[in-house]
Amino acid sequence: QVQLVESGGGSVQAGRSLGLSCTASGISGTLNCMGWFRQAPGKERERVATIYRGPGSTVYADSVKGRFTISQDNAKNTVYLQMNSLKPEDTAMYYCATNLWRTCDNWSTIDYWGQGTQVAVSS
């Protein structure tokens, strides 16, 4: 059974930076993609960024482009999210996600989730 363990997150003031990391274990194959989603209270879960293992291609939500960077260490089955120039609207629970076969483009098609880590940005 694939398990995802996240670390990082916390509370910061607007304009500051935070980093998240997520390591996958229990994998009996090769991950197709890993990604980060977030969910704020009363809002739907949304994709923040996705990275595909093979080509290393990345996709970002428009709201985070130019501020967030997703990267991976394939040898460690770990994905990172560097968040710069944080804004209060980035406040949410951030979830790591991965799929073995399907894409990581939409939360409804994700097979494996981390437990979530809270990010709070104050103005």
What are 8-19's pLDDT values in tens digits? Answer: 999 999 999 999
What pLDDT is recorded for position 27?
A: 87
- Give the model's pLDDT for residue 20: 98
pLDDT tens-digit map of 27-67:
888 889 999 999 999 999 999 999 998 778 999 999 999 99
SS3 for 35?
strand
How far apart CA 30 and CA 54 sit, in angstroms, is: 10
Residue 95 has pLDDT above 90, yes or no: yes
